Amino acid sequence: MKRGALLLFIFIFSIVLLLNVNGATLNSCSIKSSCGAGEITLASVAAPQDAHISKDIYKFPFKLCCSGTSISNSCDVVATSRDSLADLYLLDDSHVDPGPQANSICLSTTDNSNVDCRISGATCNSNEACVLSLYQGTDSHVADCSVNLPNKICCFTTVTKTCYVHGEARSDTDSLQCCVADTSGNELYYSKEIGTDLTGGCCQKLYESWDSFRGVCWPTDVTPCAAQCSYDPSQSQYFSTQGCFLDSPQPLPYELSCCQATQFGVTDKFQTEIELVRNSNNECTGAKFCSTVTKLCSSTPDGFCPQNYGDWSTCPLNEIGGGCNVCDPDCGTCGSVRFLDFPVNSSQNRDLTIKVEYTSPVSQPITLWRVNSGSDSYINTQRCTVQGSTCVAIFSPSTTNPALRNLLTSPSTPGASYTFKTHLSVNPDIVVQKTGYTTPRVEILTPTTKSNLRSSVSVQARAQSDSSISSISWYITKRDNPGTPATFSPVNVRYNQGACTFCNAQDCNLLGRVTYPSSTTNLNVLVAKDFDTLRCDNNDFIITVIAEDFQGNRAQDSVSINTLNPNAPCTDNCPVFDSRVLKIIIARVKTWV
């Protein structure tokens, strides 16, 4: 079956309107044999319900029709923003799925109004129109909205905020910039369209300004760009001062800060030079803005890099070449560390080699710790070795203080966890941690190796894991050649129902399996499974028991045994006249004679 998905993009556009509060509308959508006057065709559908959908509107006999004003199915438009909800795997025969794919079906507007679409539950909100019904949230057939299904694709339109004649307005969600230029080179300044707007749009300087008396953008009363400051000291944009002033020549990025003060009811905007903050060792620790606001360097990410503000050329460099006295990850200089080829599982009491990779090709000291339930144990700090575009530190028992080698040893208990953490020595607040587990332990108690088995035999095993045993399985293999070395192949003994002949199918030699629910605790399990040797010829066999715990780790144990039954059947490579019944008859004839 061809699979695919439907993508409904969210298109948000700017539009040129004068006092126009009306915009595109989406009234309703339905699947029908043909679309009527005033409707647009978004796609073609194989049937009104339980159907595939196609971007090709001529592919299927039924159409997805939507009514409204100023709406379109065009994808060839520029959107201020868009929201991908579902995609098409194929253009002409698809399922619906929200995952990202190469193709899409689009719902857009011709007047640059906003379109918002989403996959919802069984109903749409009152301000939304249903476009399609879905049988499930992913990989779904489609149906008309009248079909009662657990998911709907819902869309609605909203009017774009506008100013006057140049299409210069922006969405309320856009970040505003003061005194920047549009694509035509016109300088922009900040204004509001209505009193309830929280952010407003950007109107063009020398073309219009906001007339609060008339309540419109008006091409008179020009407001100079330098009299507007869209940045508030309480907002993070306050420090993004590039573009706040029309400077010629432009200063270095963020060299000066844009400050704002109100005195005697008058608000003024002015620039001050950004100051560097230093400690007693003359190390640079941060930047000061407007003489009152200080942003300090920090090894903990806070979304702000002080090194981007002011002149740091006189600061002594830290270990990684930055101006901050500590490695500040927001400045992009610290890089990151991760465990490389971490031993996520290990047998008990084994030496562990831990590799840590630093993402930059710079030799840095890296510290490794063993995480304990009480307090963590320090293992070692060593410089990584540059390997291509990264740097790798290797911690092994042979290079560790002998008194601490036990910290690089896996636990002696099966299914037990072991955890390590690591960090750059210059950035100890950003820690990476990883956990592994020892494998389970399993032992076959009976029969013992080289036992001669007859009739039905109980194969008893014990399995242990602190992660709790999830299943135990028994497998049988039989010797397949008379020479040396001896080799063994699976035989059909599945749940003691097979004929003990050689087989190739998956789990054909599975003698039996016991599984345990995750709700139970199975740290130490004693189980047994019967092996009916009467179904097999007299030969050499290997019994293998595999135990698995809830971490997905496995362990196994095996024993070699022989079957020794009187009048055992021939199961493979039998002579033409070889027959168990015939052998019995011949034996009786010999007895009579």
pLDDT tens-digit series, residues 485-505: 999 999 999 999 889 999 999
Write out pLDDT tens, residues 300-347. Answer: 778 788 888 878 888 887 656 668 887 787 887 576 789 999 999 999
- Distance separating alpha carbons of residues 319 and 326, to the nearest angstrom: 9
Could you tell me if residue 257 is inside a domain?
A: no
**pLDDT higher than threshold 70 for residue 155:** yes
Could you tell me if residue 244 is inside a domain?
A: no
Helix (H, G, I), strand (E, B) or coil at 109: strand
Helix (H, G, I), strand (E, B) or coil at 414: coil
- Distance separating alpha carbons of residues 178 and 205, to the nearest angstrom: 11
Whether 472 and 410 map to the same domain: the answer is no
Whether 374 and 357 map to the same domain: the answer is yes
Range from 164-173, 379-388, 569-578 carrying the lowest mean pLDDT: 164-173
Could you tell me if residue 171 is inside a domain?
A: no
Whether 74 and 122 map to the same domain: the answer is yes
CA neighbours closer than 13 Å in the CB half-sphere of residue 32:
12
The contacts of residue 579 (CB under 8 Å, 6+ apart) are none
Token code pair at residue 505: 């199918």
pLDDT at res. 23:
67
Could you tell me if residue 297 is inside a domain?
A: no
Could you tell me if residue 6 is inside a domain?
A: no
Mean pLDDT, all residues of the chain: 76
- Distance separating alpha carbons of residues 256 and 53, to the nearest angstrom: 56
Tell which wins on pLDDT, 533 or 431.
Answer: 533
| Residue 513 domain boundaries | 441-563
Could you tell me if residue 402 is inside a domain?
A: yes
Q: Which residues of 349-379 are buried (b: 16+ CB within 10 A; e: fewer)?
A: eeebebbbbbebeeebebbbbbbeeeeeeeb
- Distance separating alpha carbons of residues 417 and 419, to the nearest angstrom: 7
Could you tell me if residue 220 is inside a domain?
A: no
Average pLDDT of the residues in 68-90: 63
Whether 457 and 550 map to the same domain: the answer is yes
Task: Please report, rounded to a whole number, the percentage of residues in the chain having pLDDT higher than 90.
Answer: 41
Range from 69-78, 286-295, 486-495, 529-538 carrying the lowest mean pLDDT: 69-78
DSSP 3: -
Q: For the CA atoms of 531, 532, 538, 539, what is the dihedral angle to 10 degrees?
A: -20
DSSP 399: G
**pLDDT higher than threshold 60 for residue 21:** no
Whether 359 and 460 map to the same domain: the answer is no
Among 194, 216, 6, CA closest to 106: 6
DSSP 233: T
Alpha carbon distances (Å) from 183 to 112, 167, 168, 187, 573: 18, 11, 10, 10, 86
**Domain count for the chain:** 3
Q: Which helix (H) or strand (E) element contains residue 580?
A: helix 580-592
Whether 34 and 154 map to the same domain: the answer is yes
Whether 430 and 448 map to the same domain: the answer is no
pLDDT at res. 427:
66
pLDDT at res. 554:
96
Write out pLDDT tens, residues 452-480. Answer: 999 999 999 999 999 999 999 999 999 99
Could you tell me if residue 282 is inside a domain?
A: no
Whether 129 and 30 map to the same domain: the answer is yes
Token code pair at residue 148: 């009662």
Domain boundary among 142, 158, 174: 158
Domain boundary among 388, 422, 438: 438
CA neighbours closer than 13 Å in the CB half-sphere of residue 510:
10
Q: Do residues 156 and 62 touch, judged by C-beta distance below 8 A?
A: no
Whether 385 and 457 map to the same domain: the answer is no
**Rg, C-alpha atoms of the chain:** 38
Average pLDDT of the residues in 72-96: 61
Angle at 119 between CA 116 and CA 125, to 5 degrees: 65
Among 526, 499, 529, 523, CA closest to 511: 529
Q: Which residues of 568-588 are buried (b: 16+ CB within 10 A; e: fewer)?
A: bbebeeeeeeeeeeeeeeeee
Strands of 317-455, DSSP E: 337-340, 345-346, 354-358, 365-371, 377-383, 385-387, 390-395, 417-424, 432-438, 441-446, 451-453
Average pLDDT of the residues in 394-412: 93
Whether 448 and 420 map to the same domain: the answer is no
Average pLDDT of the residues in 270-288: 83
Whether 503 and 432 map to the same domain: the answer is no
The contacts of residue 283 (CB under 8 Å, 6+ apart) are 315, 316, 318, 325
Whether 407 and 460 map to the same domain: the answer is no
pTM above 0.75, yes or no: no
pLDDT at res. 106:
82
CATH code where residue 379 lies: 2.60.40.10
Strands 39-45 and 71-72: unpaired
Q: Do residues 90 and 117 touch, judged by C-beta distance below 8 A?
A: no
Domain boundary among 129, 158, 187: 158
